[in-house]
Amino acid sequence: MNKSDFYYDLPKELIAQTPAPVRDLSRLLVYHRDGGAIEHKVFRDVIDYLNPNDVLVVNETRVLPARLIGQREDTGGAMEFLLLKRLDKDRWETLVKPGKRAKTGVTFSFGDGRLRAVVEGNCEDGGRIVRFLYDGVFEELLDELGQMPLPPYITERLEDKNRYQTVYAKEEGSAAAPTAGLHFTPELMDRIRQKGVDIVPVLLHVGLGTFRPVKEENVEEHHMHSEYYMVTEEAAARINKARQNGGRIVCVGTTSVRTLETVSTPDGMVHPGSGWTQIFIMPGYTYKAVDALITNFHLPESTLLMLVSAFIGREEALQMYNIAVQEKYRFFSFGDATLLL
């Protein structure tokens, strides 16, 4: 299967640069796998497609304000750090720009020296391992000094940091938001619970590899990034109970899909566990646990579009995307959503 099999033409003006004014008033394209019917709704209508006994699986990861702008202490040269992976309390794997300034042993300063970073070594992919020096609580300093690591296709400044967090975000550790969840409000979630739908949290810390383009023409040669996941015993039990009671497993976002498909067995049972997953879902994959999916519109030739294509069919996915372009839906992280039934 070739990368070009997942190409579609997207006018640049349809890439959403800012969030919708109201989270749950973004648009919702509903796609029915049985027959291919399409409906055009607003997001808060999603409740009409959920049934009592269904389970809604959400990813409760929280985005770190992981973009730090600092200066080299000896020369004053500007440097951007992007925190990728925590190695221990004060050591991180980072991406740096411009890389040539970040030599081993060099120290950088952020926020008038309240936070400092010493480069300890290089990573395989061109990044740097750095140790942070500070007084106080690292997370509080990062919250104050860091910026949200918005995807490269978003060029406008984000006025409100919280609009790149889901309302249920809890566990810090992501380099990007699980964006399907950005459409939910506390009020909508309350109404969904009142309908008899169980909302179950799982965890997958989204890595920047989410935005890494597929370079190989043969997609099977693409190397997936690894991401940390956790499914508790309670979460697994609630999901399995819903299935046994005839309910559907509805995933909010591709991150929840990757998590459940990592920990489920072919009989559809979800098992508790944690670790690192490199699951790559593309056409030919047989879904084990997921019955329906809420997700945004994804980049052409991306692994996320391949995941959607595995769920509804490649030609069907491209046809749906072309309709979305004609209907001028907003695309990508701050864009509109799809409900795939």
Query: Quick one: pLDDT at residue 152?
Result: 84
Q: Alpha-carbon distance 100 to 271, whole Å?
A: 45
CB-based burial label for 118 (10 Å; 0-12, 13-18, 19+): middle
CA-based nearest residue to 122, from 94, 101, 82: 94
Query: Quick one: pLDDT at residue 300?
Result: 97
Bigger pLDDT: 189 vs 151: 189
| Amino acid making up residue 88 | D
Query: Quick one: pLDDT at residue 113?
Result: 94
Taking only the tens place, the pLDDT of each residue in 77-121 is 999 999 988 899 999 999 898 888 899 999 999 999 999 999 999
Q: Alpha-carbon distance 136 to 32, whole Å?
A: 52
Homologous superfamily, domain 67-145: QueA-like (2.40.10.240)
Plot region of 331 (φ>0 → left; ψ -120 to 50 → alpha; else → beta): beta
Q: Is the model's pLDDT at 258 over the cut of 90?
A: yes
Taking only the tens place, the pLDDT of each residue in 204-230 is 999 877 777 899 999 999 988 889 999
| Residues 97-105: contacts with CB under 8 Å, at least 24 apart | 99/126, 99/128, 101/72, 101/75, 101/77, 102/128
| CATH value of 3-63+160-340 in 3.40.1780.10, 3.40.50.2300, 3.90.1150.10, 3.40.980.10 | 3.40.1780.10
**What is the full DSSP assignment across 271-282?**
--EEEEE-----
Q: Alpha-carbon distance 63 to 161, whole Å?
A: 10
Structural domain spans, the chain = 3-63+160-340, 67-145
Q: Alpha-carbon distance 305 to 111, whole Å?
A: 39
Strand partners, 147: 67
- Give yes or no for a contact between 20 and 334, defined as CB atoms under 8 angstroms apart: yes
